[in-house]
A and B are shown apart, each in its own frame.
Chain A
Amino acid sequence: MDNNIEKRLQNLRDRLTYIGDIFAGKHRDNADLLEEKLSSFTERARSDSLEDPYGDLAALEDLFNYVERRLEDNITAMDRVRIVRHPQRICLRDILENVYDNFTEVGGQDEYSLDPGMLIARAVITRRRGKKSYTQSVMVIGQEKGHGAEFRNGGSVKPWGNAKARQYMRVAETEGIPIHTYIFTPGSYPIEDYPGAAQQIARNIYCMAGLRVPVVTVISEGGSGGAEAIGLADRRLMLSHGYYSVISPEGAAAIEGHLKAGQRATPELIEQCARNLKITALDNLKFGYIDRIVVEPPLGARPWHFDFFRHLRQEVLRATDEVVISTRTLPVLKGLALARVRQPDANLDEMYTRWGLSPAAKDRLLAHRQQKFLRLSRMAARDRRPFFAKMAVALWDWASKPWVSFKYDFYRKHQRRIRTFMEEMDNEWEVFKSRLFSPWRKLTRKLPTGRDDAGKTKELTALSSWSGEGHRKRWNYLSPRYKIDRAVTCPNSAAYGCLDLWGPDLFAEFAGVCSHCGYHFPMEPEWYVKNVFDLGSVFEFNSEIEAGNPLNFPGFDERITAAQKSTKCKSGCMTFEARIDNIKLVVAMLMGTFRGGSVGAAEGCKFVEAAQRAEKKRYPFLAYVHGTAGIRIQEGTHGVIQMPRCTVAVRRYIESGGLYMVLYDTNSFAGPVASFLGCSPYQFAVRSSNIGFAGPGVIKETTGMDIPPKYHRSYRALSRGHIQGIWDRREIRANLKQALLTIGGRNLYYR
């Protein structure tokens, strides 16, 4: 048997194990058939009893192809998960070698890298138009699974790996070359070592929301936060056998099945979750979260599918060209160019589009990208307002824009000048006046002042007038728990010797703070709304936008209704305008009481609108996180997409001159912290809060590590530089005011 046959047989054997692996025991009969044929062929080939080994082999290969095509029709969501996780799946190095013409790995090499899970390369593509050839550079960034190599960590990137990615995105921006990112990750590695998983992803997303070069993303395995860390792109392509999801199906099953640490979910439940989460390329295309599907060979691309790489090359070139062309302004030329590259049979290798952009084009590129994300997922949030009401709001919004811009951009600027002039005039007048009256004053000073003494004595011995008579702090809102006569044990009592606290004292006068050690018991969201902001100044908006069940996740409608009933809120995010000592601000509050404060399409929608409202009214914008457990997994990618979406909204707000502050309370974890919350330059935490990327259970599950108690304490986040300060709950109001005045100052927010 010659070497060639042996090689091809090995390939078939690999294909056979692959089929066995990805179907996990299903379609046994097909696999058995192939196995039988393969072994009988091998036997005969070994004994050299074949007349036409190449012909028989080709027939066998055809059979394999046929079976694979047939199985392709029955592929389930969970099968796709197994496909992308399979060691035989193509990985980034295969793409670099086969899609690009040449490349140099940067930021480390193989296992000698800051994080071998994150691969970065400068790659070139050579295209020809006529006789001329053009070499174009791109920055390729993506997770490398390395066909299961241990040191690649399965493409689960550590915080510093994401930091490396961000660094080279910046490099690409400086160099003005497009970025191609390839997402091959089951999720980020959830550790809090500097810079912290959540914090770094947030920085990456914030960075990508403003990158001034074209970004094209290809998703193979898009696991939640890890995917978003390099996924905010102008064009998002997805491999047809990939998945893009908020959480691994196993993780979803563990949550759905209410499993405790160490327990395992049943395969049926996992399969069911994979189906319900709508994680396939088709689903995501339908939702609009990806722009195009790159069709793979049956049962998914493997390194020997060279046709696929050619196809992929065409697709990434097309996507990049499209992005570049769409920044052009001349309508006719633009339309023609777009039509040319969009032609399905166009050979992009024989066309040439310059990828460099002028500053104005970069502005348009950015605007397109930001608008694209802001438009996403609107339909996934329920808005039960009647049509007219919606139209009226939209109309008012449109009509008031010129007025607001007149008021702040024109009037305020000139008003300041007038005031400065008046103040100077006033000073001059005072100086003049004092000169004028100085002889008179000299005279009066010499007069006896006996009367004055009596007055002074009186000041020291008689009752003075004082408006702060009721200076004893009274709260406007008390936790209903104060009505329960019972003692409460402070969790720190073993360490600090705190005596049991009496509930009615603790939850009323003490504002939920242990009087001995200062531990903060969680309070209700209402406590903050009523005690932090000026009484009666809170004006809620968009309260009609409701959390829904966009994926029709089984049984979830009831759970949403139950949460709405118990909290009397329509969604987990309350957005309102309020005042603190007459400083107006817009607040978006994520409430830990509504399904753990998880963020779905409705919450994201409200958050975006709150940021836009703050931008329009020139108010400071505060995200008060009473608690958030992460992205609402039952909404699938409708939830995940809120990470880049809200970050885009926040970035637009900050860049228009707004002051965006975040205040964490109780427990804040996962997606929101790793995006629109974590990207704020001013993040504070209330004492006793926990901040992190993944909870202890998830960390144990994904990394196998036990984490020490207090791993997610805000103090650690402070030492790491994630947050800027830790506030006592009773001082939130004073601290917020001080922060607004000192950080905000004259230029950051509009009083």
Chain B
Amino acid sequence: MIDISALLDEIKAQPFRDIVITTPHTGVVTFADIHQGDKAHGPQGQWKEKPGTVIATLERERNPKPICSAEKGVISLLHTELEGRFVEAGTPLAVLRHQLTRAEVENLILRKALHLFPAPERAKYYFTPDVDKKIRASDAHSVIVREGMELLIMSRMKREVPLHYSGPSGVIYAVYFKYNENIDAGAPLIGVCPQDQLPTIQEVIMRVQTDWAEKD
């Protein structure tokens, strides 16, 4: 049993996360009209169809691309010295001080409450086709995992190896990997909630919903 209050207090003491905005590829940087201390917002709209605040424009091969903020926050650092310069891929442009949202806090606490299934190797991971179909049709909560079930495909070096689940059976409550993204060995892939613990998890969510005030 986890102590939700203690966890919440811990997070409340440190309610920020610094997000470093980096260049996705090489190119010449032009900063948007934005300054240190400005507020930035993440993608908006009902379907997140409107991109976030433009931080800078990265031009490569005469193709300027906006670099947008992925989350809401305050710009705490802006590398304006890079203005007009050709930079490498992965160069930090700005740091965004982002206050944790309710969903993120939920996620943080759930990570402690759920059974985490870790990645055995650094590789890319996918769900097996039938599991993937189920998840796409409804959501991850609809999939019940059991010990030894063929759940994931580990892909690396152009080879794909099936991965069997081990741990308590339950529903997949959280998915921590993204399509085509390398996951380090030991990092959690999915969070599983055993059936009998569902009420506990619901309680966690309720607590976060009531105790965590999102500020603008």
Q: Interface of A with B (CB < 8 Å)?
A: 485-489, 497, 500, 502, 706, 708-709
Contacts and interface: CB of A to CB of B under 8 A. Distances in A.
Number of contact residues on B: which range applies?
A: 10 to 19
Contacts of B63: 486-489, 500
Contact of A500 (B47, B49, B60, B180): B60
Given A497-B180, A500-B60, A489 B47 contact: no
B45 A706 contact: yes
Contacts of A500: 60-61, 63
Contact of B47 (A485, A488, A497, A709): A709
Contacts of B65: 489
A486 B49 contact: no
A487 B60 contact: yes
B119 to A, nearest CB: 20
10 contacts: A486-B61, A486-B62, A486-B63, A487-B62, A500-B60, A500-B63, A502-B61, A708-B49, A709-B47, A709-B49
A487 B61 contact: yes
A674 B47 CA distance: 28
Interface in B86-141: none
B14 interface: no
Interface in B39-86: 45-47, 49, 60-63, 65
A621 to B, nearest CB: 39
A486 to B, nearest CB: 4
Nearest to A500: B63
Nearest to B51: A494
A487 B59 CA distance: 10
Contacts of B49: 708-709
The 5 nearest A-B residue pairs measured at CB: A486-B62, A487-B61, A487-B63, A709-B49, A708-B47
Contacts of A485: 61-62
B45 to A, nearest CB: 7
A497 B180 CA distance: 9
Contacts of A708: 46-47, 49
Given A486-B62, A708-B47, 18 more contacts: A485-B61, A485-B62, A486-B61, A486-B63, A487-B60, A487-B61, A487-B62, A487-B63, A488-B63, A489-B63, A497-B180, A500-B60, A500-B61, A500-B63, A706-B45, A706-B46, A708-B49, A709-B47
A486 B61 CA distance: 5
Contacts of A497: 180
A530 to B, nearest CB: 27
A485 to B, nearest CB: 7
A454 B192 CA distance: 70
A706 B180 CA distance: 31
Contacts of A489: 63, 65
A706 B46 CA distance: 8
A706 B48 CA distance: 12
A549 to B, nearest CB: 38
Contacts of A487: 60-63
A256 to B, nearest CB: 26
A500 B49 CA distance: 21
A706 B44 CA distance: 13
A500 B47 CA distance: 25
A709 B43 CA distance: 14
A483 to B, nearest CB: 13
A145 to B, nearest CB: 30
A218 B65 CA distance: 55
Contacts of A709: 47, 49
Nearest to A696: B49
Nearest to B45: A706
B194 to A, nearest CB: 34
A293 B46 CA distance: 48
Contacts of B46: 706, 708
Contacts of B60: 487, 500
Nearest to B46: A706
A433 to B, nearest CB: 59
Contacts of B47: 708-709
A727 B6 CA distance: 59
A22 B27 CA distance: 60
A709 B46 CA distance: 10
Contacts of B62: 485-487
A497 B24 CA distance: 12
Nearest to A485: B62
A312 B137 CA distance: 56
A719 to B, nearest CB: 16
A485 B61 CA distance: 8
Interface string B16-52: 0000000000000000000000000000011101000
Nearest to A484: B62
Contacts of A488: 63
